[in-house]
Amino acid sequence: MAGVVTNTVFGFLRCYVLLAAAGAAGSVGGYDRAQLATFVWVGQGLLAVILLWGWTELADRIRTGEVAADLLRPVHPVTSYLAADVGRAGWAAVTRLLPPVLVGPLFFDVHLPRRPGTLALFVLSVLIAVVLCFGCRYLVNATAYWLHDVRGPMILWTLGAGVLAGLYFPLRFLPDPVLVPLWLLTPFPSLLQTPLDVLVERDPAPTQLALVGLQLGWAVALLALCRLVQRRAERRMVVQGG
């Protein structure tokens, strides 16, 4: 309940700021006022679904040594934690996504999808974003195998993910020389910006499909990297006598 209230309050603050940025022209960065409102309110709900921050379970288990029990199970740790995270995201979609989505249209004009495939593509994009964000968080937590204290990497992740994922402002506000490398060379825009752009139909349908395809590529790459890091970490634990 506290999370829902907090996200709703910040939804009003963010929405008024972006609408002010649109100004008298009624648009900014290629978004009209209704698209900006939808971007904000759905983004506030997706924050808990994708879960950019707050997950330290793996790092805590590494620090206490409980991770050894994970390695004895017949399921790979990456698969096990991913399954739990997808279940968490499904529950968050009901308890944390719906309230802001229902509150926003009561006070602001929002954008309703006009293309028949937009909602299905949005759901797919959100699912990929959940998997991708899990991969990022897993890698940040896995630094505990070497550092034992993940507060430094966690702070860097918290600061970087919020800005570079499009939470604080749409990344389309940035100039193309900054936006294009950020979008193509890092997974951050695929975490939040891509699902929201799909929903507000910011781009033509072929471009949206390409962005979701890029999302999928990053998700596959990050999961493969998670397994590689986990394998190297297990070898380190054996060397240490763990």
Tell me the Ramachandran region of residue 170: left when phi exceeds 0, alpha when psi lies from -120 to 50, beta otherwise: beta
Q: What does the pLDDT average to over 18-39?
A: 90
Q: How do residues 57-84 score in pLDDT, each as one tens digit?
A: 999 999 888 888 888 889 999 999 999 9
Put simply, whether the predicted model's pTM sits higher than 0.85 gets the answer: yes
Of 18-32, 96-110, 168-182, 213-227, least confident by mean pLDDT is 18-32
CA 202 – CA 39 distance, rounded (Å)? 10
Q: How do residues 152-204 score in pLDDT, each as one tens digit?
A: 999 999 999 989 999 989 999 999 999 999 999 999 999 999 999 999 999 99
Q: What does the pLDDT average to over 146-154?
A: 90
Decide if 31 contacts 172 (C-beta within 8 A): yes
Q: What is the pLDDT of residue 238?
A: 58
Instruction: Extract the tokens encoding 240.
Output: 């240490």
